[in-house]
Amino acid sequence: MVAVAQHPNIELITLAEVVKVTGYIGNFNVTIKKKAKYVDWDLCNGCGTCIDKCPTKKIKDEFDFGMGLRPAIHKLFPQAVPGKPYIDPLNCTKLTKDKCGICEKVCPTGAIRYNDVDQLVTEEVGAIVMATGYDSFNWQDAYGEYGYGKYPDVISGLEFERLVSAGGPTQGKILRPSDGKEPKHIAFIKCVGSRDDTKGKSYCSRACCMYTAKHAYQVKTKIEDSEAYVFYMDVRTAGKNYEEFYQRALNAGAKYIRGRVSKIYPRGDKLILKTEDTLMGMALEVEADMVVLATAMVPAAGAVQLAKTIGFSVDKDGFFQEAHPKLQPVETFTAGVYLAGTCQGPKDIPDTVAQASGAAVKVCGMFSKNELVTEAMVSEVDISKCSGCGLCVPICPYGAISLQEINERGGHGHGPFTRQIAEINSSLCQGCGACLPACRTTALNLKGFTNDQLVSEVDALCL
């Protein structure tokens, strides 16, 4: 993280999102919305006095999934990069009620800006790498049998990560969210939302088998006299040193039980899991103090909209569509836009890093040339036929068609006049052919797929 922030060739723009992209490979114009931070980061020295002095301290910290508290002016987490604070405008009493103003008074560099607003900036770039990541499957909406989220001690794998992390709300002690007691028996349920056509997604999320093995191992090594039960459909450890790691969890005493959990319900301060052991062929009831769900990876919120904004396609699950599943895993169908990480599909850290380096090489390869070759099979306009109706303009998904005025000499009793025609930007046109059916005068043709060529194919088949 720090290496990224310190690199002289990298400009970081955080709290920002891409709102508009125009142009084409080698020549994109990207409009970015920089959200208001209410702190001038050029002046701020990151001392943290404002964070210490902010009186609005009891806001549930989203970073810790509400298991910890934070003030209104805060960093995302203490080691944030850049290490500068920003104000949460929904909870700051100065911004909501015009009371307080303490952070402005205590700031030694005068960096607080209560009148800060969102800003739009436009950047010119030649290539775009998509790395928007994933979100955790919202199991509370789908799994009624696990309590729809109403039992505080049924948590997701990412919440468990916060509990076990030294920088988390419990300083790394595994404690139950409900009463802060140390759980002794922890159950792990895999494939919550993954490999489940009825309630979730049909795909395997690929990383859960391994992080669940890690969680079970951490329970066994961190909590004395503990039990870690892992309920699984299959154990998939296809990766270098993965099977060995799984064996390490088993050797530490993790108990793997092959079966789905059909119901969780409370009994006293315990949770009861109704399940089965399909290898033994028997029904089971297991008592646990805490349950951890290995939830599926789903595309990040807003990813599909972003794909539309930039102009490339997504697959049936909303992950970004690669140009070829085996041979072009980092390219999209839109030239100059590349994919890295879980935005393309569920994967773990080693695969993410490998794909990111692959995307980087594609970008560098492109940048090694001074000029790029464009697609030859693009649309063309026969201006003698074009009526300038403009029906093709909104249909083009790449914004390659615009209306232009041309001058005509006139004749047959008419003087010179101007009229509208459609014009194709051949750099933007990807040759998809979507504009052709819209053209009522057949003025549009796709080079390499002309009407004449297509009719000749049909004739060859049918006549």
Partner 1 sequence: MKKRVGVFVCECGTNIAATVDTQQVAEYAKTLPGVVYATNYKYMCSDPGQELIRTAIKEQNLEQVVVASCSPRMHEKTFRNAVEGGGINGYMFEMVNIREQNSWVHHDRQEATKKAEDLVRMGVAKVLRNQPLKISTIPVTKRAMVIGGGIAGMQAALDIAEAGHRVILVEKEASIGGKMTQLDKTFPTMDCAA
Could you say which residues in the range 401-440 bind partner 1, by CB under 8 A?
426-427
Answer for which of 43, 47, 63, 388 binds partner 1 (CB under 8 A) is 63
Closest CA to 176 of 157, 161, 190, 155: 155
164 binds partner 1 (CB under 8 A): yes
Q: How far is the CB of 63 from partner 1 (least distance, A)?
A: 7
Rounded Cα–Cα distance for residues 153 and 17 (Å): 34
Residues 117-156 contacting partner 1, CB under 8 A? 123-134
202 binds partner 1 (CB under 8 A): no
Cβ proximity to partner 1, 71 vs 259, nearer residue: 71
Rounded Cα–Cα distance for residues 190 and 293 (Å): 6
45 binds partner 1 (CB under 8 A): no
In a 3-state reduction of DSSP, which class is residue 236? coil
For residues 280 and 265, the answer to whether their CB atoms sit within 8 Å is no
Residues 289-348 contacting partner 1, CB under 8 A? 300, 306, 324, 327, 338, 340-343, 348
Query: Token pair of 120, please?
Result: 């739009």
Answer for which of 40, 77, 178, 182 binds partner 1 (CB under 8 A) is 77
Q: How far is CA 35 from CA 14, 92, 376, in A?
A: 9, 16, 41
Give the pairing type, strands 73-74 and 86-87: antiparallel
Count of C-beta atoms within a 10 Å radius of residue 147: 19
Answer for which of 140, 178, 374, 420 binds partner 1 (CB under 8 A) is 374
Rounded Cα–Cα distance for residues 422 and 388 (Å): 6
Q: Which stretch binds partner 1 (CB under 8 A): 107-115, 276-284, 364-372, 403-411?
A: 364-372
Answer for which of 98, 225, 244, 405 binds partner 1 (CB under 8 A) is 244
366 binds partner 1 (CB under 8 A): yes
Answer for which of 37, 70, 201, 220 binds partner 1 (CB under 8 A) is 37
Answer for which of 36, 43, 81, 304 binds partner 1 (CB under 8 A) is 81
Rounded Cα–Cα distance for residues 359 and 338 (Å): 6
Rounded Cα–Cα distance for residues 140 and 149 (Å): 5
Residues 204-233 contacting partner 1, CB under 8 A? 210-211, 213-214, 218
DSSP string, 254-297: -EEEES---EEEEETTEEEEEEEETTTTEEEEEEESEEEEEEPE
47 binds partner 1 (CB under 8 A): no
Say how far residue 90 (Cα) sits from the centre of its chain.
24
89 binds partner 1 (CB under 8 A): no
Q: How far is the CB of 345 from partner 1 (least distance, A)?
A: 12
Binding track, positions 249-278, relative to partner 1; x by CB under 8 A: ------------------------------
**What 8-state DSSP symbol labels residue 331?**
B
